[in-house]
Amino acid sequence: MKDLKKRLQQGETLNGCWLNLGSSLTAEIVGLAGFDWVLIDLEHGAGAERDVLHQLQALQSTSAAPLVRVENHALQRVHRVLDLGAEGVMCPRINNLAEAQQAVAGWQYPPDGKRGVAKMVRTTQFGVNFNNYYEGAKDNILGIIQIETEEVLNHLDGIAGLDGVDVLFVGPADLSMALGIFGQFDHPRFKEALKATVDAAERAGKATGILLFNPDDYPIYRGMGIRMIASGSDATFVANGARAMVSKLTEYRDSSRPTNNS
């Protein structure tokens, strides 16, 4: 494990991005770029659960800690990706304390939770390292609850206070949509919701995270005390790189004429 949870607890600000192509190759490329963490997206990404293993294997030799956003907080979805080797889980669209408790139960072994115990899985080196993994799971697995609905704003303190919740992670697109101000991240309602999230996390001694659409906004959100910050994805990097290259080639083509050697 790459000590992501411990680094957050020690007050570090950690940079990450999304992986939504389902590709082990782009996962490895992004992991080698130097991010502290990357998130394999099973909620909106192109990959399925069967693709997670290959991405985790590709990330193993990089410095990036691999996290997985599951489709929902169902117990089986959570502990399956942990058994494959994810170092943390993000659960989207949590609405209330009861749903957050169900999510936490999935990433903690009994007696703290309901995670199934399996020795012959990748994350325990197929049984070789089971005891060490089991004993350290609670201290190492990063539990992330997404703040994306209007309802969840009424339960921030209760959720942040749960043992096993380490990060309240704001999904700005969904949250602004839920508040009726889609994409208006300067709107007072969005700012109020964001501040309430940060304050609840700080009261509980937990961290706050956010996905930035514009990396130039980094100082603003870091200044608010947000310490788990993501921007971009493998799809974004490929698309932006391809468009930039087409634009450059088109610029050269349109500004020059072929040489007539006849």
Q: Is the peptide bond before 111 cis (omega within 30 degrees of 0)?
A: yes
Tell me if 117 sits within 8 A of 109, measured CB to CB: yes
DSSP conformation class of 117: P
Cα 91 from Cα 160, distance rounded (Å): 14
DSSP code per residue over 30-44: HHHTT-SEEEEESSS
Cα 120 from Cα 130, distance rounded (Å): 8
Q: Is 187 a catalytic residue?
A: no
Which residues, listed in sequence order, are joined to residue 230 by a DSSP beta bridge?
16, 211
Element (H, E) at 233: strand 228-233
Give how far the C-alpha of residue 237 lies from the chain's centroid of Cα atoms, to the nearest Å. Answer: 17
Half-sphere exposure of 221 (CA within 13 A, CB side): 30
Q: What residues act catalytically?
A: 44
